Structure 1
Amino acid sequence: MTDLGLNGKRVVVTGAGGGLGRAFALAFAKAGARVVAADVNADGAAETAALAGPSALSMRLDVTSAADCAALATRLSDDWGGVDVLVNNAALYGGLERRPFEDIDEDIWDRVMAVNVKGVWNMSRHLAPLMPADGSIVNVASATVFSGSPQWMHYVASKGAVIAMSRTMAKELGGREVRVNVLAPGFTMTEASLGLIENARSYGVDRAALKRPAETDDIVGGALFLASPLSSYMTGQTLIIDGGRQFI
């Protein structure tokens, strides 16, 4: 792999127990970073860490829990002396039922907001103080914010909030030279996506410029770029990777 300036960097990836989160963690490890794979699914996180190599760590983490986030921050401070990159990937996605917005259960709405929005805030407020001047936060949103996705308002609204939060965080952390950017993938072939949509491999292909579905390898380069010195003067921005679906 081309040197991205990530060798030895201390990287935390949430939602790393599978899917895109695992792909992010393994890509950072391949680039030479030390990785913490964090997930509410402890077994999945441990499996990702094992795949990432001997320098990787795993931790069971509920991003909605301030105590869990604080415990991770303490561990990083004690064991690694801080953190260079935070990838806020954890989200409720695969198990969500598509419904008209007026029929979404209030409890489900609140749970989506707790994980997808509060979780980003929780992790960022606990880990940002541990970052050096070249630190980077990559918040994972969704291209659905720009295209809309019928019967999925809770998810789309939560990811829109992530983009808005990231702009504010970028302004607040910019004086410390900590960057905050957003990665907004389109529909990507993961276990969660396959469970959501029938005939997932052909979903949306006709509405994109590139006539194939996205695989995880198509997305991870965006996270590496946003975390690396290659994007050192980029903050508060949203990088959409959806095969050109937004302009068709």
Structure 2
Amino acid sequence: MDQGLSGKRVLVTGGTRGIGRATVLAFAKAGATVVTCYRADHEQAEETARALKELSQGHQVVQADVTKAGEAAALVEAARPGGGEGIDVLVNNVGVDGSAPLGELGSAEWDRVLDSSVTAAYLVTRAALPALSDGASVVNIGSSVATRGRPNAVHYTTAKSAMIGFTRALCKEVGPRGIRVNLVSPGLTETEPGAGLPPEVMSRIVGMTALGRICHPEDVAGAVLFLAGDTSRYVTGANLTVDGGI
């Protein structure tokens, strides 16, 4: 079934690598016009811009640190030049991982992880609210670890758990405008060979899944497009877990 994404204006944060890049390219292949951002990796940004140009015209890859209010607002403006057409889909994908036992978890590392996942989503979504078209879709990227917990990752687990509450509360605020807000929670995703883990760890995690394989960025992108599209038009406030059945 057609998801009705052709011609839509889509804003994806952190869209030049991993899940973000797969999502950006999937929207472009579906006929949407995409604006995305990166913080510092110019090479990845250029590669993504080239890939988008090969698919169609009109896409943008913008440099922005969306943990800063001014840059988040500028990104939103880039997605609707001249204050023109509204934004039909917002994907809050920016986030970083982190690992440290609580006794060694300093405030700077806590802030780094919480700012990237939670503060960035707050700043971009707040800036985008007036620009969102009626009936728009907001899709947040969380993690399945939010409901399971992970040792040595209190800050990361807290950040991803916060996105569940963010999603549930916001869907009730914007529902009267027909705007839907949902969350996609991937399991461990192979954004680099072996997900950067030792082979024995990778084997153990894969063995825990019902499907017997690790998650790929394209698996997550498919869930995002479903929640952004017409076939999920009565789905809001949901947390869609994409972890292969762990």
TM-score, normalised relative to structure 2:
0.92
* 2:22 aligned residue: 23
Partner SS, residue 154 of structure 1:
helix
* 1:125 aligned residue: 126
Amino acid across the alignment from 2:85:
G
Moved more, 197-206 or 112-121: 197-206
Moved more, 19-28 or 204-213: 204-213
Paired residues, number:
240
Runs of 4+, deviation exceeding 6 Å: none
* 1:221 aligned residue: 222
Partner SS, residue 135 of structure 1:
strand
* 1:241 aligned residue: 242
Aligned CA-pair RMSD: 1.7
- Structure 2 distance, partners of 1:142, 1:218, is 14
- Structure 2 distance, partners of 1:177, 1:238, is 18
CA distance 1:74–1:219, shift in 2 (3 Å):
closer
Partner SS, residue 134 of structure 2:
coil
- Which sections of structure 1, spanning at least 5 residues, go unmatched? none
What is the CA deviation profile of residues 38-60 of structure 1, one whole-angstrom value per residue up to 9, with x for unaligned ones? 11135223421321222211101
Moved more, 150-159 or 70-79: 70-79
- Structure 2 distance, partners of 1:111, 1:49, is 27
What is the CA deviation profile of residues 162-187 of structure 1, one whole-angstrom value per residue up to 9, with x for unaligned ones? 11111111011111111100000001
Partner SS, residue 113 of structure 2:
helix
* 2:86 aligned residue: 82
Partner SS, residue 213 of structure 2:
coil
- Superposed, 1:110-121 pairs within 5 Å as 110-121=111-122
Match of 1:55 among 58, 69, 81: 58
Partner SS, residue 61 of structure 2:
strand
| Residue 82 of structure 1, CA deviation | 2.0
- Superposed, 1:99-248 pairs within 5 Å as 99-191=100-192, 194-195=195-196, 197-199=197-199, 201-245=202-246
Amino acid across the alignment from 2:59:
A
